[in-house]
Amino acid sequence: ENGKGRSEQATVCCYCGTGCGVLASAEGGRITAVRGDPAHPANFGRLCTKGSTLHLAAAPGGRALYPKLRDARAIVGITAATTPRRRVGWDAALDTAAERFADIIRRHGPDAVAFYISGQLLTEDYYVFNKLARALVGTNNIDSNSRLCMSSAVSGYKATLGADSVPTCYEDIALADHLLIAGANPAWAHPIVFRRIEDARRANPDVSLTVVDPRRTETAELADLHLQIAPGSDVLLYNAMLHVLLAEGLVDQDFIRDHTSGFEALQAQLGSCTPGEVAAACGLPAAQIVEAARRFGRARAALSLWCQGLNQSHHGTANNAALIHLHLASGHIARPGAGPFSLTGQPNAMGGREVGALATLLPGHRNVDDAADRAELARLWNIPALPAAPGLAAVQLFEALAAGRVKAVWIACTNPAQSLPDQARVRAALAQAEFVVLQEAFADTETAAYADLLLPAASWGEKSGTVTNSERRVSRVRALVPPPGEARPDWVIVADFARRLATRLGRDAAAFDWRDEAAVFAEHASLTAGRDCDMSGLSHAVLERDGPQQWPFPAGAQRGTARLFQDKRFATADGRARFAPIGFPVAHALLPEPVDARHPFVLTTGRLRDHWHGMSRTGKVAALWGHTPRAEVVLNPANIAAHGLEVGELVRIANPRGELVLPLAADTGIAAGQAWIPMHWGSASLAQPGANALTSPAVDPASRQPALKQAAVAIKPA
């Protein structure tokens, strides 16, 4: 009881990857109050502005309530459809979907359909989608919006540590004596993680903080050293820091000799990467680079934390690997307080990686391109074989849709018409697809305009399952109220569709029969046995009894695992961490598209403190509009004067991909030559596109994560 006569249930905030525990109350079918869960190890009772208003964001309004089907497409160009959808029952909706998908699969093969899902889904939802795509349809065309946020961290970890395994935990923040935050603004994007950083520095004033960020953010304001790096020059910076570590004897030769491979090859590539050589490209004084390296190298325990600034780049994998190299060279890894800690953006990006819901992955951190992994999973799923053809990652998936190679797409819990780069191209792809299914809690997203079939999904507080946060901690998410209208939990919708599709394809529908979400989790957990993410000892019952747990949690374990690689054996074949052979030559293009006289500004994008993604939830909460009431483009005051612009006037931000009109704001925290726009806007009316009208679809070749942080733009009076 919460003291007011209402019962509380423990669940998890549905916004960022911090994964804060929430105690939520409901009354009369409505969620009426939330407070931080004092017992949850991610937050110990704290919530940020977004988390503490979850009950207000859960208010009715704007929800998709009933399945709705469009009988004929009437979409012109990239504008909204004109033929209204009509309400249908679930049977008609899912039979139609199964018929259309079966027909396309028969005529064009399994790779003519695709699934584009979300880091907002629960692990159970993710798992059922993944089994549907790989085991029933027979395609690897299943990708997630986690591709936009985490895939460079995945490939960076795999390239260096041998597995997609975050080795650290939140406790390490209090145990480190040096923190390096790179390409992240946790003060706004992961506020409860940031509270830990503030606590650590209050408890020990000797804890030093270096922040690497092109903007002077609130996080950077707290730093002892802020490296206001030029966008795209991350690898040069970290290689130059490694050069300093070597030159000043700050490397751990014993660790390198005993626990790593590839150091000599990387060392050979570092020759010209001195602080003096890279200073101009990085936009930094050489002395700052030296200082940053010394702080890192001389620390007793150095912890790095990073997010989209490193990941959303056309060389995001190299960015990640170059930062992890600093840990491997100095031995700041595999011990308390030390290690590389990527922060996940979305609440369950980590759970999606566990079930393999990225085009390149399979359940249990297996890989599509590994024949033994495919054979093992086929045996576990009791099917003859899994598809070997590589799947389409997010940007490619919509390119294939535009080209007609993919005919039908099933989108769940995400809004690609707003959130993918090069928005006009994505909208054009959706407009000319043969069949678009959208499984969504909200009725009026930008993507909904293109849906032939809209399936109403349950939202936060209405469905039950699990999520995994940034520190590998699996928590129970609980339903407090029934979904509105005829909305259903996501996994229930997908399993129902899969059974209908299986029948039409002459396959085993029973493979998609689960009693409840606990049974789905049990099947998922069983597939992880013996893998680095082994959670075969976890179940909904264990989580109910013992609370949130970190994997690995193998069968028979009594508790989860806070830190990985404590025995200094890494997840590679020889047990050695790797200095990845992806040194980054100085001549490499730093940006996906260079600025020129016509497009002289480097556009970067990012989060506001009080909003989340496309604002389907946070946009409903009046209190969350007080901090930043409108979208603006932000420039350095020197640029405003030099370009004859005025603060507050409407300006047109444009490049060949698109344009948008926004009021102009000034901030000395933005370096000259750069522009910054929040990522949250993108009107459902399609009249005013969002930041992604301008962003670049260039992707990292290894992770296939798009370079959402860097685009060349012109800015002129509107």
- Min dist CB 468 to ligand SF4, Å, is 13
**Residue 604: strand, helix, or coil:** strand
**Residues in contact with 89: Cβ distance below 8 Å, sequence separation at least 6, in sequence order:** 67
For ligand SF4, what does the binding mask look like between residues 216 and 255, x meaning CB under 6 A?
----------------------------------------
* CB of 288 or CB of 470, closer to ligand SF4: 470
Number of residues that bind ligand SF4 (CB under 6 A): 14
- Min dist CB 308 to ligand SF4, Å, is 15
* CB of 34 or CB of 454, closer to ligand SF4: 34
d(CA 175, CA 177): 7
- Min dist CB 51 to ligand SF4, Å, is 2
- Min dist CB 695 to ligand SF4, Å, is 23
- Min dist CB 219 to ligand SF4, Å, is 14
For ligand SF4, what does the binding mask look like between residues 188 and 217, x meaning CB under 6 A?
--xxx-------------------------
- Min dist CB 339 to ligand SF4, Å, is 21
The 3-state secondary structure of 624-662 reads HHCCCCCCCEEECHHHHHHCCCCCCCEEEEEECCEEEEE
- Min dist CB 542 to ligand SF4, Å, is 23
Positions 155 through 194 that interact with ligand SF4 (CB under 6 A): 190-192
- Position closest to ligand SF4 via CB: 51
Query: Would you count residue 608 as binding ligand SF4 (CB under 6 A)?
Result: no
* CB of 187 or CB of 235, closer to ligand SF4: 187
Question: Would you say 78 and 424 are in contact if contact means Cβ atoms under 8 Å apart?
Answer: yes
In degrees and rounded to multiples of 5, residue 437 shows phi and psi of -105, 135
| Strands ordered across the beta sheet of 435-440 | 86-87, 68-69, 453-456, 435-440, 408-412, 113-117, 142-144
* CB of 57 or CB of 94, closer to ligand SF4: 57
* CB of 45 or CB of 663, closer to ligand SF4: 45
Residue type present at position 560: G
Question: Would you say 10 and 37 are in contact if contact means Cβ atoms under 8 Å apart?
Answer: yes
* CB of 148 or CB of 430, closer to ligand SF4: 148
CA 520, 522, 524, 526 dihedral sign is negative
SS3 content of the chain, % helix, strand, coil (to 5): 35, 20, 45
d(CA 237, CA 674): 19
Residue type present at position 660: L
In degrees and rounded to multiples of 5, residue 151 shows phi and psi of -70, -25
Positions 13 through 52 that interact with ligand SF4 (CB under 6 A): 13, 15-16, 18-20, 43, 47-48, 50-51
- Min dist CB 10 to ligand SF4, Å, is 14
Provide Rg for the chain, Cα atoms.
24
Positions 252 through 271 that interact with ligand SF4 (CB under 6 A): none
d(CA 164, CA 146): 14
* CB of 48 or CB of 664, closer to ligand SF4: 48
* CB of 13 or CB of 322, closer to ligand SF4: 13
* CB of 624 or CB of 653, closer to ligand SF4: 624
Question: Would you say 342 and 320 are in contact if contact means Cβ atoms under 8 Å apart?
Answer: yes
For ligand SF4, what does the binding mask look like between residues 49 and 88, x meaning CB under 6 A?
-xx-------------------------------------
Strands, E, within 257-368: which ranges? 260-261, 302-306, 339-342, 361-362, 366-367
Query: Would you count residue 615 as binding ligand SF4 (CB under 6 A)?
Result: no
Stretch that binds ligand SF4, among 10-18, 326-334, 652-660, 693-701 (CB under 6 A): 10-18
- Min dist CB 186 to ligand SF4, Å, is 9
* 95, 137, 143, 564, 628 from 112: Cα distances, Å: 19, 10, 14, 40, 43
Question: Would you say 42 and 471 are in contact if contact means Cβ atoms under 8 Å apart?
Answer: yes
N-term to C-term CA, the chain: 56
- Min dist CB 621 to ligand SF4, Å, is 13
- Min dist CB 303 to ligand SF4, Å, is 18
Angle at 710 between CA 704 and CA 715, to 5 degrees: 145
In degrees and rounded to multiples of 5, residue 115 shows phi and psi of -125, 130
List contacts with ligand SF4 (CB under 6 A).
13, 15-16, 18-20, 43, 47-48, 50-51, 190-192
